Amino acid sequence: MRVRRTFTAISVSAALALLAGCAPTQSAPAASGGDDQTGTLRVWLFDEASRAPKEAAVKEAITEFKAAHAGVDVDVQWVPVEGRADKFSGAFNDPANAPDVAEFGNTDVASYAQTGALSDLTGDISSWSEGKDLLPSVLDTAKSGGKTYGLPWYTGIRALYYRTDVFTELGLKPPATLAELTDDARKIHAAKPDLYGISTGGKYTYALLPFVWANGGDVAKQDGGKWTSTVESAQAKAGITAYANLLKDDICPPAACANLTGTQSVTAFAGGKAGMTIGGDFNRKAVEQGAVKGKYAVVPLPGTTPGSVAPAFAGGNLLGVFGASKRHGLAVQFAELLAGAKYQEKMYNAMGNLPTLESVQKKLAASDPTLKPFVDTLAAGTKFVPSTPGWSKIDSQNVLPTAVQQIATGGKDVDGALADATAAMNKNFG
Amino acid sequence: MVTQQLPVAVPAPPAPRRARRRRDGRAALLYLLPAGILLAALLVYPIYQLVLISFYDYGQPQAAGAAPLVFLGFDNYAALLQDVQFWTVLAKTVGFAAACVVGSLVVGTALAVLASRVRAVPRTLLFLAALGAWSTPAIAGSYVWLFLFDTDFGLVNEVLSGIGFTGMAHHSWTFGTFGAFGLVAAEVIWCSFPFVLVTMYAGIKAIPAEVLEAASLDGASMWRSTWAVVLPMVRPLLMIATIQSIIWDFKVFTQIYVMTNGGGVAGRNLVLNVYAYQQAFAGQEYGLGSAIGVVMTLLLLSITGLYVRSQRRSTAWL
């Protein structure tokens, strides 16, 4: 027994010594890059459901870029959106294998900026001839801590899709307020029990946020650099309650809708299962390919008073340059080429993505009426999620969806659900 | 630790024997070395890093070297153990894994007995079907099950309402807590029973015919010979299948993540692995995630350890 005890004591103290003496591995801080004018430029772009049109537009840009820069090659890697976290973590941990230019979502800016791996492009954008044409509200989504970490490439704006045939049949007009939207949705489900009044889901944060913002609330506020949750404010509570009320048996039964994501909500509408949905400009192609082709229209999501528009979430993708890039100048030039007017228009034609340059947007809206509701929504003012790394955690922990689902299914009352959400959010804001 | 006590208990053996034993030890060491090095590199070092990271505030900035490391001691563990949700999720995981283990053992063993009694053609068909399920990738299997059990377009609801159960017309299988767990458990059993089937079939086939013949000559009934002869003989295999199933089913991720949309409505279908992913890894809080990993490893080790011990006690030949 004594031997055993000695052995245990030795192993415990050895383990403690190991722990005290060692620390987890960290990679060395990213070395500052260079400004070579030749060589291979490595570019990461997101893979899409149907990549061919995007690839074609990008290939054209590469050809143009290579013609203008002798001795330069561009190597594009397609990053799957779902696997981006691992891919980017790898790039942050091993700067030597990081790309020069990368596409990423603007909701990731704050957490990526925190790793110190991305270049501050503020100076590059202000000296770019087309930089002044960038919509300020969209450019804001590329900022974290006062620095700009990416060139806005395209933006995603959501609006209200509705079934023109169903509305005509039931004698409804497109809703002018959110209260009217709820009434219309209820009428549709009552008259046509096979249709959800509006297909929105408990996991569709970007459909929930406009309800909060339209009611004058927000999810968090910043005081002296510190974020705190504001979901318990009267305004936010009204917005969240209004949204949760859509996930009820008389509109979109919780058994079917409580767990829907954004894509699933739009898919239900495209498949002819719903009278309305909240969808983005980027969803239009999918809806066009669905059963409701030719039987739907899009208007801006209304606010709380007639004539107002609910502020939309300013989603979108950016082109960033890695700080460790050995070809900083080339990388910025390539990003500027892709994000410039010419290729924004080509990307719009290829993918239907809303451009971030005001002049391109106006030009396209004039020639393509389907773009109007999205441009109008953008012009009415957009909002963004808290630009802090804490938000990514709140988002991945499903804090707001859980609250909405608890309210919608009656698992918790509004106050209880929002109190839990507040606690979880503040813990993540730190 | 037992071996450490041996020299005290046993009187010193004569010199030549000791020399030979030392040579034996050296040879054993040499034989074990390759496996040992491999285990150290692939298992010990990662677990060492896992434990280490769990004592730090370790996120993406720390991994990338952009922020200093902060030693937290047991703070990650304290935060985890104080989280009410962790205990709920743990309890649900245990229940869910237990159902899956029992289910796959019962189904697998029953079909193994069946396979050992039928002719070659039906047996081949049974094995083909089982191997098909076994080799289906978890994600593909989960989606196929989801399509089958879809609320509006699924075959199952269509058939059920077609044969008279009209109440099932638009039944959502993934909404209720038990419904969703049940559906996922069925899928997990579907893709893990073939392992039990193959293992147990091999075990049953390995029993010498003479033994069973002797039992029947002694007047043992079918039930009696199964209980008193077959079962003890396949016991080691049954134990392996059980432990494997416990380990697999405790760590289920894909099926829950895919079939319940990442943990069900308001997170009520979360299991430990999905919870760890959602709480820690997706938000790049690797420190907390490692703490969950360590807790899970300890739980599995203790379950396995207890089981092995109980087996060793009850059967001397094991």
Reported ipTM: the value is 0.77
- Is the alpha carbon torsion for A323, A326, A329, A332 positive or negative? negative
pLDDT 10s digits, B150-184: 887 789 988 998 888 877 777 888 888 899 999 99
Q: Is A392 on the interface with B (CB under 8 A)?
A: yes
Question: What six digits make up the tokens of A378?
Answer: 């953008």
* B22-42 average pLDDT score: 87
**Of A242, A384, A355, nearest in space to A302 by CA:** A242
Contacts of A117 in chain B (CB under 8 A): 64, 66
How many angstroms away from the CA of A111 is the closest CA of chain B? 8
- With beta carbons less than 8 A apart as the criterion, state whether A254 and B265 touch: yes
Indicate the burial class of B156 (C-beta count within 10 angstroms; 0-12, 13-18, 19 or more).
Answer: middle
Query: Which of A280-289, B28-37, B49-58, B97-106 has the weakest average pLDDT?
Result: A280-289
Distance CA A312, CA A344 (A): 21
* A311-319 average pLDDT score: 92
Distance CA A51, CA A79 (A): 11
* Amino acid, res. A342: K
B150, closest residue in chain A (CA to CA): A256
Q: Is A4 on the interface with B (CB under 8 A)?
A: yes
Contacts of B264 in chain A (CB under 8 A): 259
pLDDT at residue A18 is higher than 70: no
- With beta carbons less than 8 A apart as the criterion, state whether A362 and A131 touch: no
Distance CA B270, CA B256 (A): 7
How is residue B42 annotated by DSSP? I
- With beta carbons less than 8 A apart as the criterion, state whether A259 and B262 touch: no
B282: nearest CB among A85, A203, A401: A85
| Contact across the interface for B4 and A3, Cβ inside 8 Å | yes
| Contact across the interface for B66 and A30, Cβ inside 8 Å | yes
Higher-pLDDT residue of A32 and A368 is A368
Q: Angle B84-117/B177-205 helices, nearest 10 degrees?
A: 40
A 164-183 residues with CB < 8 A to B:
none
* B251-261 average pLDDT score: 91
- With beta carbons less than 8 A apart as the criterion, state whether A375 and A365 touch: yes
Question: What six digits make up the tokens of A30?
Answer: 């990213």
pLDDT level of residue A178 (50, 70, 90 thresholds): very high
**Of A274, A269, A261, A288, nearest in space to A351 by CA:** A288
**Of A382, A389, A344, nearest in space to A362 by CA:** A344
How is residue A95 annotated by DSSP? G
* Amino acid, res. A277: T
> Dihedral angle at the C-alpha atoms of B230, B235, B236, B241, nearest 10 degrees?
110
Q: Angle A205-214/A399-409 helices, nearest 10 degrees?
A: 80
- With beta carbons less than 8 A apart as the criterion, state whether A199 and A260 touch: yes
Mean pLDDT (chain B) is 85
pLDDT level of residue A352 (50, 70, 90 thresholds): confident
Supply φ then ψ for residue A100, to 5 degrees. -85, -45
The single residue listed with the structure tokens 């503020």 is A122
| Contact across the interface for A409 and B265, Cβ inside 8 Å | yes
- With beta carbons less than 8 A apart as the criterion, state whether A428 and A397 touch: yes
Distance CA B226, CA B112 (A): 13
What is the model's pLDDT at position A11?
A: 59
* Amino acid, res. A13: S
What is the model's pLDDT at position A10?
A: 53
Can you give A130-141 as a three-state secondary structure string?
A: CHHHECHHHHHC
pLDDT at residue A260 is higher than 70: yes
Per the document, the length of chain A is 430
pLDDT 10s digits, B36-84: 999 888 988 999 999 999 999 888 888 877 788 888 889 999 989 998 8
How many angstroms away from the CA of B279 is the closest CA of chain A? 5
Beta bridge partners of A79: A46
Spacing of C-alpha A422 from chain mean position? 22
* Amino acid, res. A429: F
How is residue B41 annotated by DSSP? I
pLDDT at residue A7 is higher than 70: no
Distance CA A396, CA A311 (A): 23
pLDDT at residue A19 is higher than 70: no
- With beta carbons less than 8 A apart as the criterion, state whether A219 and A386 touch: yes
pLDDT 10s digits, A368-419: 888 899 999 988 989 999 988 888 889 888 899 999 999 999 889 999 999 9
pLDDT at residue B225 is higher than 90: no
Beta bridge partners of A163: A296
pLDDT at residue A311 is higher than 70: yes
| Contact across the interface for B49 and A25, Cβ inside 8 Å | yes
Contacts of A116 in chain B (CB under 8 A): 61, 64, 66
Indicate the burial class of B69 (C-beta count within 10 angstroms; 0-12, 13-18, 19 or more).
Answer: middle
Supply φ then ψ for residue A108, to 5 degrees. -90, -5
**Of A70, A277, A309, nearest in space to A188 by CA:** A277
Question: What six digits make up the tokens of B80?
Answer: 């985890």
- With beta carbons less than 8 A apart as the criterion, state whether A72 and A65 touch: yes
What is the model's pLDDT at position A31?
A: 62
Distance CA A410, CA A245 (A): 11
Q: Angle B177-205/B120-135 helices, nearest 10 degrees?
A: 130
Question: What six digits make up the tokens of B42?
Answer: 């692939």
Contacts of A256 in chain B (CB under 8 A): 151-152, 170, 172, 175
B 187-246 residues with CB < 8 A to A:
none
Question: What six digits make up the tokens of A65?
Answer: 């870029």
CB count in 10 Å sphere of residue A263: 15
| Contact across the interface for A92 and B260, Cβ inside 8 Å | no
Query: Which of A20-24, A126-130, A203-207 has the weakest average pLDDT?
Result: A20-24
| 3 state SS of A154 | strand
Contacts of A114 in chain B (CB under 8 A): 60-61, 66-67
Mean pLDDT (chain A) is 89
| Contact across the interface for A259 and B265, Cβ inside 8 Å | yes
**Of B186, B265, B260, A256, nearest in space to B273 by CA:** B260
User: A303: part of which helix (H) or strand (E)?
Assistant: none
| Contact across the interface for A398 and B64, Cβ inside 8 Å | no
User: A150: part of which helix (H) or strand (E)?
Assistant: none
What is the model's pLDDT at position B19?
A: 60
Residues 6+ apart with CB under 8 A from A253: A196
Q: Is A259 on the interface with B (CB under 8 A)?
A: yes
pLDDT 10s digits, B304-314: 788 777 767 65
Distance CA A103, CA A125 (A): 16
Question: What six digits make up the tokens of A228?
Answer: 């705190």
pLDDT level of residue B8 (50, 70, 90 thresholds): very low
pLDDT level of residue B6 (50, 70, 90 thresholds): very low
β-strands A143-144, A147-148: how paired? antiparallel
pLDDT at residue A208 is higher than 90: yes
Most B-contacting residue of A204, A263, A393, A395 (CB-CB within 10 A), to test interface: A393
Helices (H), A107-233: 109-114, 122-126, 136-140, 164-170, 178-191, 205-214
Cα–Cα–Cα angle for A300, A303, A307, rounded to 5 degrees: 75
- Does pTM top 0.80 for this prediction? yes
Most B-contacting residue of A26, A394, A399, A429 (CB-CB within 10 A), to test interface: A26
- With beta carbons less than 8 A apart as the criterion, state whether A309 and A176 touch: no
Supply φ then ψ for residue A72, to 5 degrees. -115, 135
How many angstroms away from the CA of B8 is the closest CA of chain A? 10
Higher-pLDDT residue of A97 and A197 is A197
Residues A135-151: b if buried by 16+ CB within 10 A, e if exposed: bebbbbbbbbeeebbbb
Contacts of B55 in chain A (CB under 8 A): 19
B 162-181 residues with CB < 8 A to A:
170, 172, 174-175
- With beta carbons less than 8 A apart as the criterion, state whether B138 and B191 touch: yes
Q: Is A93 on the interface with B (CB under 8 A)?
A: yes
Question: What six digits make up the tokens of A18?
Answer: 């190991």
pLDDT at residue A248 is higher than 70: yes
pLDDT level of residue B7 (50, 70, 90 thresholds): very low
What is the model's pLDDT at position B1?
A: 37
Q: Angle A414-429/A234-244 helices, nearest 10 degrees?
A: 120
Most A-contacting residue of B48, B57, B60 (CB-CB within 10 A), to test interface: B60
What is the model's pLDDT at position B316?
A: 47
pLDDT level of residue B292 (50, 70, 90 thresholds): very high
**Of B89, B58, B61, B62, nearest in space to B75 by CA:** B58
| Contact across the interface for A111 and B284, Cβ inside 8 Å | yes
